[in-house]
Amino acid sequence: MESAIDSTNSTGAADPPDLALRWSGRWTLTHRILAVNILTLLLVALSTLYLDVFRNRLSKERTHQARMETATAVAAMGHVPEENWPALLATASKVTGDRFRLYGRDGSLRIDSWQLTGPTYELRDPKTQKWTKDVARALDHGFNLIVGARSRDDYVEPPVDRLGAWPEAVRAIKLGRATTEVRNAPDLTPVISSAVPIDGGILLATDNDRTFTKTVRKQRTLIVGAMILVILLSVLVSVFLARTIVRPLRRLALAAHRVRLGRAREVKVPRLPNRSDEIGLLARSVSDMSQSLRQRIDNIEAFAADVTHELKNPLASLRSAVDGLDRVDDPELRRKLMAIVREDVRRLDRLINDISEAARTDAELLRAEFERVDLGSLIEQIVSSWETRREKGDARIAFARPRKDTAAVMGKPDRLARAINAIIDNAVSFSPPGGLVEIAAAHVGDEVRIRIDDEGPGVPPEAREAIFNRFHSVRPEGEKFGRHSGLGLAIAQAIVKGHDGEIDVHDRDDAPSGARFTIRLPAADRE
């Protein structure tokens, strides 16, 4: 079924220009939706990861730089007299911008470079800054929450400036090596401090590294720009999805609405043959459904017209005979008229029964639950029934029964019996008196073939399709008028097609004359 739905229309028409797709024609809707969501999330995740890695790497570089500057100052102090240390630290402070503080063994402050050079950096009050800085700090907080960054302590100058007020200095004495610490200034810029032991004391360097924050925020600005491009890309992809999903769905909905209204003889539903996604499958399903619906409506209209035509003949004959009964006094003539009335009533009854069966055949097969049917056993029962009621002069029937369960199909037994019986009835009707009707059933490849041969005049090539039309009126010579309704072969064809089979007729190739009806049905064991 899926392959039938996926096929293009019979005319080979391509997609309408406004619904045609090029490189994405074979993408499913799931692929497109996932692509949009994954692309956006992936870019956000990669951008966030990049900024976090960049900030951490920059922070390590700056703390390493602060530690090296402090260690360099300590090394230089070891090469000059102690009385020259203040001048050395003042010079280092001007060069690096750090604030150097030397604490003695007792923890007291011995040298402060700012007392010699003045402040080399300024801790700015956020209240005095522009609103744009508030936005930047809010973004900083948001980014820290996203990446789960460890919160920093606030940098506060101790009221009493002693070594014990600086935890990194205390750790440096205990560990005997350099230690660093990063704290936040009031405006969230980092204050990097580095403590290095020196002759029982500690040299502490602090610096408000505003360049660090500027660099990180610059990278973040670039990433925000990239995110804006991502948003624009998402909008474009959304437009793409709207074009590939919403527009064809709207067109299909409009076509379905027109089909429901029934105001147009034929509604053209876009089939989208170049699309292999769910929209393409839906379009071809709706198109096939509308064509099938139109065909059924046409068949119903034609059937109603044929029924009306076929009922008029016996009704006209019946009306004429009934009217004649009132005007005829001759008993013999009245008897003949009554015989005509009875025959017309039987004819109407037979016609109505066949019409009723033809009308409900399709509906019954659509709702039927198929079962495994051994056609060998089924045909044997039909032939036995024919032999039981065979009249003098009727054709004989020969059936080459296949081995048990070798000619099995999935179907409805009573319907299949009705179809086969109709073909046998037709063969018997056209066979000469005492003629032979041969029946065979065999499993060939992935199908079961039923062959019914008669010894009649055969079917002309130009009439081989017409004989399956409803109310086909060609009958053998000498047959009593009205014995057949002309619906038998039409019902047989409908039953065979309802079982996904085919039926056709050709001349026999093994006899001077005669017709060969062949029914092909899917075998029950076919995958």
Which of 367, 396, 413 terminates a domain? The answer is: 367
Structural contact between residues 391 and 410, judged by C-beta atoms closer than 8 angstroms: no
Asked if 340 and 448 sit in the same domain, the reply is no
Which of 367, 383, 415 terminates a domain? The answer is: 367
pLDDT at residue 10, rounded to an integer: 39
Angle made by CA atoms 225, 227, 233, in degrees to the nearest 5: 110
Structural contact between residues 340 and 480, judged by C-beta atoms closer than 8 angstroms: no
- In-domain check, residue 11: no
pLDDT at residue 293, rounded to an integer: 75
DSSP annotation of 129 reads S
pLDDT at residue 194, rounded to an integer: 95
From start to end of 377-431, where are the E strands? 396-400, 408-411
Q: 126 in helix, strand or coil?
A: helix
Asked if 63 and 186 sit in the same domain, the reply is yes
Asked if 373 and 482 sit in the same domain, the reply is yes
Asked if 44 and 103 sit in the same domain, the reply is yes
Asked if 195 and 71 sit in the same domain, the reply is yes
pLDDT at residue 361, rounded to an integer: 65
Structural contact between residues 500 and 427, judged by C-beta atoms closer than 8 angstroms: no
Residue range(s) defining the domain that contains residue 348: 275-367
Asked if 354 and 476 sit in the same domain, the reply is no
Asked if 173 and 315 sit in the same domain, the reply is no
| Rounded-to-10 torsion of CA 248, 252, 253, 259 | 160
Asked if 152 and 211 sit in the same domain, the reply is yes
Asked if 173 and 148 sit in the same domain, the reply is yes
What is the side-by-side strand order in the sheet with 515-522? 396-400, 436-444, 447-453, 515-522, 502-507
> Can you give the CATH number for the domain in which 498 is found?
3.30.565.10
pLDDT at residue 472, rounded to an integer: 61
Residue 434 Rama label (left phi>0; alpha psi -120 to 50; beta): left
**What is the C-alpha separation between 258 and 293, in angstroms, rounded?**
13
Count structural domains, the chain: 3
pTM: 0.46
Going residue by residue through the chain, which has 527 residues, state the pLDDT in tens, using 9 for 90 and above. Answer: 334 334 444 344 555 554 555 545 555 656 666 676 677 777 778 887 888 888 888 889 999 999 999 999 999 998 999 899 999 999 999 999 999 999 998 899 999 999 999 999 999 888 888 888 888 888 888 877 777 778 888 999 999 999 999 999 999 999 989 999 999 999 889 999 999 999 878 999 999 988 888 888 888 888 788 778 877 877 777 777 777 777 777 878 888 777 777 666 666 777 777 777 777 788 888 888 777 777 777 767 666 666 665 667 677 777 777 777 777 777 888 788 788 788 778 777 766 776 666 666 666 666 667 889 999 999 999 888 887 777 656 788 899 888 888 889 998 888 898 889 888 988 888 888 888 899 999 998 889 999 999 988 888 888 888 787 766 665 555 444 445 556 778 888 888 888 889 999 998 888 888 899 999 999 987 54
**What is the C-alpha separation between 248 and 111, in angstroms, rounded?**
80
> Can you give the CATH number for the domain in which 349 is found?
1.10.287.130
Asked if 424 and 335 sit in the same domain, the reply is no
What is the side-by-side strand order in the sheet with 179-184? 109-112, 99-103, 201-208, 190-198, 179-184
Asked if 348 and 421 sit in the same domain, the reply is no
- In-domain check, residue 238: no
φ, ψ (nearest 5 deg) of residue 311: -75, -25
396-400 and 436-444: which strand pairing?
Answer: parallel
**Helix, strand, coil percent content, the chain, rounded in steps of 5:** 55, 15, 30
Asked if 311 and 376 sit in the same domain, the reply is no
CA-based R_g, the chain, Å: 49
